[in-house]
Amino acid sequence: METRPPPGPLLEIDQVSLAFGGVRALSGVGFEVAPGMITSVIGPNGAGKTSLFNTISGFYRPSAGAIRFEGRDITRLPAPRRAALGLARSFQNIALFRGMSVLDNIKLGRHAHLRTNVFDALLYFGRARSEEIALRAEIERRIIDFLEIDHIRHAPVAALPYGLQKRVEMARALAMQPKVLMLDEPVAGMNREETEDMARFILELRAEWGVTVLMVEHDMGMVMDLSDHVVVLNFGQVIADGTPEQVQRDPEVIRAYLGSGDHEDLRRRLRGARGGNAPAVAADTDDGPADDAAANGAIAAASAQGASKAPATTAPASTPPGKAAAT
């Protein structure tokens, strides 16, 4: 069943522009996501990261440019069709059905694969259908095991701490059996332990599920440790694109985050965040904030400055995503 992806990028963002009235959220954004890689998009508040995600997943239509997935132009495909092709995502503000159980929320992920025409629907009954149901249940069981949420499978989502809700959202996205998993700020608002767990899951995703990851994240320690490829946005434009080492050294990136602040200090902190070969996400346990936390603090402060220049958005216009995916 598995079709081999063609050589070349799995996902191609080609000169994409997007405007909200007079606000140019994205201007000629272009980069590629290679199969099997963890690609991160970073940038100060208001840089256009969420807008970019919404454009890639089909909630917004770009005013110019193209998005290609496995070589196919998907720029005009509606969001559910993109999801069915293998683009699944989580949201910056969790989009789960809060009154429903964890398991029921995860089951909604499978709807991306439900048959859409009447002939398929007819074939879907009988033996094929029961086999598919058994297969789905097996996939859901594996996801629940993998994300270590077996103990809460029947709990209503609203009763769960934030970190677990984020994990349930990831489980639902995985239930779509995506080729590319898009994570919008997967560790935002998490404590250190929750962040370390999430970082481990993201790394294991690739090994166990063969999933390519595209994420937006503010936690610099995590981005630099996990990513193979980092794309930096500022005011809707790509200002750097390369390995974590390359973007950390890029003067424009440092300027974007720090304004006219002390670049050398930030550089030192970012280097400290790497902490040699030790996995920095798991580096500091109980002995107070380590260098990566300090660097995060510096960048968070810088982001806050950036936010006052480019107003942060509450992005109210996106469709309630869970609902869109479920219908």
Choice between 50 and 90, CB closer to Mg ion: 50
Q: How far is the CB of 256 from ligand ADP (least distance, A)?
A: 12
Q: How far is the CB of 26 from ligand ADP (least distance, A)?
A: 8
- Given 27, 39, 40, 50, the residue binding Mg ion (CB under 5 A): 50
Q: Is residue 162 part of the contact set for ligand ADP (CB under 6 A)?
A: no
Q: Is residue 57 part of the contact set for Mg ion (CB under 5 A)?
A: no
- Given 27, 39, 40, 45, the residue binding ligand ADP (CB under 6 A): 45
Q: How far is the CB of 46 from Mg ion (least distance, A)?
A: 8
- Given 27, 39, 40, 50, the residue binding ligand ADP (CB under 6 A): 50
Q: Give strand pairing partners of 68.
A: 12, 73
Nearest C-alpha neighbor of 146 from the set 194, 99, 200, 226: 200
- Given 11, 12, 29, 49, the residue binding ligand ADP (CB under 6 A): 49
Those residues whose C-beta lies under 8 Å from the C-beta of residue 168, and which sit 6 or more positions away, are: 96, 102, 105, 106, 147, 149, 152, 157, 160
Task: Give the whole-angstrom CA distance, residue 55 versus residue 27.
Answer: 12
Instruction: Assign 152 to helix, strand or coil.
Output: helix
Q: Is residue 43 part of the contact set for ligand ADP (CB under 6 A)?
A: yes
Q: What is the DSSP letter of 32?
A: E
- Given 84, 315, 324, 326, the residue binding ligand ADP (CB under 6 A): 315
Q: How far is the CB of 83 from ligand ADP (least distance, A)?
A: 20
Number of residues that bind ligand ADP (CB under 6 A): 17
- Given 8, 20, 145, 304, the residue binding ligand ADP (CB under 6 A): 20
Nearest C-alpha neighbor of 114 from the set 134, 136, 92: 136
Binding letters toward ligand ADP, positions 266-305, x by CB under 6 A:
----------------------------------------
Those residues whose C-beta lies under 8 Å from the C-beta of residue 165, and which sit 6 or more positions away, are: 94, 96, 157
Q: Is residue 57 part of the contact set for ligand ADP (CB under 6 A)?
A: no
Q: Which does 282 bind (CB under 5 to 8 A by kind): ligand ADP, Mg ion, none?
A: none
Choice between 144 and 216, CB closer to ligand ADP: 216
The pair of structure tokens assigned to 15 is 């000169």
Q: How far is the CB of 186 from ligand ADP (least distance, A)?
A: 14
Nearest C-alpha neighbor of 272 from the set 297, 237, 255, 305: 297
Compute CA distances 27 → 13, 215, 301, whole Å: 12, 20, 26
HEC profile of 256-323: HHHCCCCHHHHHHHHHHHHCCCCCHHHCCCCCCCCHHHHHHHHHHHHHHHHHHHCCCCCCCCCCCHHH
Choice between 33 and 41, CB closer to Mg ion: 41
Q: How far is the CB of 118 from Mg ion (least distance, A)?
A: 40
Choice between 290 and 296, CB closer to Mg ion: 296
Q: Is residue 155 part of the contact set for ligand ADP (CB under 6 A)?
A: no
Binding letters toward Mg ion, positions 151-190, x by CB under 5 A:
----------------------------------------
Residues in the chain: 327
The pair of structure tokens assigned to 33 is 């996501």
> Contact 66/156 with Cβ under 8 angstroms?
no
Those residues whose C-beta lies under 8 Å from the C-beta of residue 135, and which sit 6 or more positions away, are: none
Which residues here bind ligand ADP, judged by CB under 6 A? 20, 23, 25, 43, 45-51, 310-313, 315, 317
